[in-house]
Chains A and B, each alone.
Chain A
Amino acid sequence: MIYDINDHPLPAFLIDETLTILSQSENAAKAFSIHSSFLDLVDFDSRDKAVRMLSPSQDEVELELVMNTVQSPYSLFQVFAKWSSGVGQIVCVRQDDRIEKLSTMLQKQRERLADTNFDLLDKKEELEAALMKIKKLSSPFLPISNNMGIIPLFGELEKELFLVNELNLLQILNNGKYERVILDFSGIGEIENSGVLPLLSFCSMLEVIGVSVVLCGLKPNHVLQLMKYDFELNQNFEVTGTLKDAVDYYLKQSFT
C-alpha cells in the first residue's frame, strides 16, 4: 500500500527547502485554501520563526505558529516537521480555543485573588504597624535620678520586644550617663523561649556600656524559665522583690 499524503487526517504538506509547497492533503486545502508557499499560510509575526525553524538543518522539529486559515485569519497551530533528502513533511494541528478560555478564566480568578490578597495585605501591614507601636510602648525608659532609671516591661517577653527597643534604650542610657537601670518584670505575663537569649544579650550590652542591670518583680515562673538557660545574675537585690523595694534599696545606696 503506497502512502498518499492526500488522505492524511490532518492538514499536511510536503515542502522543499525554500518552503514551496510540493503537495498537500485534502484537509490542508480545506483549511488554508491553495497557496504556492507555506509562508503564505503563516501570520506575518510568525514568519521569521517559520523560516528559522523549518529548514533541513533542523531535521525534526515541533513548533507553534500563528496561521491564517480560511475560517479564521489568526489561529494558533502546533506544527510538526521532519526532513529527509531535502523534502520536509509538515503536519499542522490546530490548537483549539480551550487554552484561551482557560487562560481567561485563570486571569479572572487571579484578579479576584489579587484584590483579596491586597486587602489582606493592607490589614496585615496595619496590624504589624500597630504591633510595633505596642512593642515600642511596652518598654519605656523612666529616669528617677541622675544616674538611675527604670524600664518597666509589659506584655509577653519575647524576641521582638528587644528587637524593637534595645537600640533606642541603649542610646538613651549611654547618652544620659546612667549607671544603673532597673528592669521591672511586674507587667510581664510569660517569658517566651525566644525572649530569654535577647534578654541576656540586652543585659550584657548594658554591662558593656557601663550600666549595671537590676531585675525586679520576677514571678516564680519567670525565674524557672530563666534558670533553664543558666541565667546568672550579679545583683544583691532579691529578684522577686517589688519595684518599690528596688527603688528604695538603690536610691538609699547611692546616698550612702
Chain B
Amino acid sequence: MDAIILQILNGLDKGSAYALIALGLTLIFGTLGVVNFAHGALFMIGAFCAVTLSRILTLSHTVIDETQKDFLGNPLKVDVPYIYDIFGQQTGDAIIDWAVPISILFAIPVMVGIGFAMERGLIKHFYKRPHADQILVTFGLAIVLQEIIKYFYGANPIPTPAPDAFRGSFDFGAMLGFDPNTIIYPYWRLVYFAFSAVIIGAVFAFLQFTTFGMVVRAGMADRETVGLLGINIDKRFTIMFGIAAAVAGLAGVMYAPINSPNYHMGMDFLVLSFVVVVVGGMGSLSGAVLAGFLLGILESFASMAVVLEILPGINQIIIYLVAIIILLTRPRGLMGRKGVMEE
C-alpha cells in the first residue's frame, strides 16, 4: 500500500510537468490551430530564466586574496556579489537563496515577450500552411533556441537549487501511520505540484470567467463567426500565445530545482507532452491535464522494481503502449472533440 501511495505521489509530480506543458500546447493548438514543436523549448527557456536570474543576483566583482592560491599558484581571486554591497551579506544571501521563486516575476514578462515575438514574427505566417509545415518550422525554431542557450550557458546541467526552506523531504508515511522511511517526499516537489494546480486553475478560470476567455473559447469553436462579429480575434489569439508561452515558462522555472536545467531538457519533455495531448484529445484543455497526470502516474508505476521484474523494459514503453490502447479504443483521445484535426 505504501509503495502505491508513493508512486501515485511521484506520478502526480511528474504529471504536473506533463500537464503544464500539454496545457500550453493545447491552448496554442486550440486557439491558433498551430502544432507548436517549440513548446518544449519554451519550457527550457523558463528554466533558464531561473538560471539567468540566479546569475544576475550573483554578479560579482573580484577581490584578490593574497593569502590563498588558485590552481596555478597565483593569488586567489575571490568573487564578491554586488548584491552584498547593496543589501549586506545576510540579506544578499537570502535574496540569492530565493532566486528561483523570485524568477517567476522575471520570467512572466520575458516569456510573454518571447511568445508575442514568436507568434508575430514567425508563427502567424504559417496559419494557413499545412500542419507538416508548422511542425517543421516550430521544430527548427526549437533547435535554434536550444543552440542559443547552449552557446551562452554551455551543455552541462546547471545546478539551480530551491530555497533552503524547501530543501530536503518529509516523512509522509509516518504522518499517515505507515513505517517511517517508506513514503518520503521532497518539499519542493509538493511546492511544484501545488504551483501546477494553481496555474492550471488560473488558466481554466481565466477562460471560463472572463469576457476575454469567453471570446477566445468562442474563437476556438468558430473563428470565422467571431471575426464576423467585429472582434479582433487575431489580437486575442496573440495574447493567448503569450499566455501559453508563460505557462510553459513558469513550468520550467519551478522545475529548475527538481532537475538541473540543461539546454536539451525541452526536447526531453516535448515528445511525451505531445503523446499527452493526443491521449487527452487534441484541443481539449481538461483532456491534456487529465492525461498528463494519468500518464505520469502510470510511468511511475512502470518504474517499480517489482513491475520491472515481471515485465522488463515496460518503463520505457508504458506511455506509448497506453497511448496506442487509448487511441485504438477512443480515436479522439480521452476528451477529444469531433472535428479537431479530422479532415
Tell me if chain B binds chain A: no
